[in-house]
Amino acid sequence: MERIRSRGNVHRTFTAFQLEKELPATPSTMLEADGKQVGELTSVAAIPLYASGLENIQLGLGYIRREVLDRNLPIHYLGGIAIPISLPFFAAAPSASRDASETERA
């Protein structure tokens, strides 16, 4: 927090990525844009999506420089492409509707 206060801004942001092509072998995979290191994947996973007809979706979480997102530059990692996506963790509606339906049955 002191660095934010004293320097005035933060250059990196935490975001989610959809990973195209190969899933990285290690979660600490570097992200590059325009031939420069611009971020790092901190965790990766392949999630099965049987209901949608797709085999699985490859997701990653990590930090990336804000200007890369602002300029919409293509982001690469060793073995594939990382596409920034919005984080789905703030949507609480499904659990709230499940609680309401459970109380209706009781």
Whether the per-residue pLDDT at 25 is higher than 90: the answer is no
Q: Which domains does the chain have, with CATH numbers?
A: 2-105 (2.40.30.110)
What are the tokens at 96?
């709230």
What pLDDT is stored for residue 7 in this prediction? 64
Q: How confident is the model at residue 71 (pLDDT cuts 50, 70, 90)?
A: very high
- 90-to-7, 55, 58, 95, 98 alpha-carbon distances in Å: 29, 25, 20, 12, 16
What pLDDT is stored for residue 41 in this prediction? 95
Please provide the average confidence, as pLDDT, over all residues in the chain.
78
What pLDDT is stored for residue 106 in this prediction? 44
Report the DSSP beta bridge partners of residue 13: 64
pTM above 0.85, yes or no: no
Amino acid letter, 79: G
Among residues 64, 101, 102, the alpha carbon closest in space to that of 83 is found at 64
What are the tokens at 23?
């899933």
Count how many Cα atoms sit within 13 Å of the Cα of residue 55 in the half-sphere of its side chain: 2
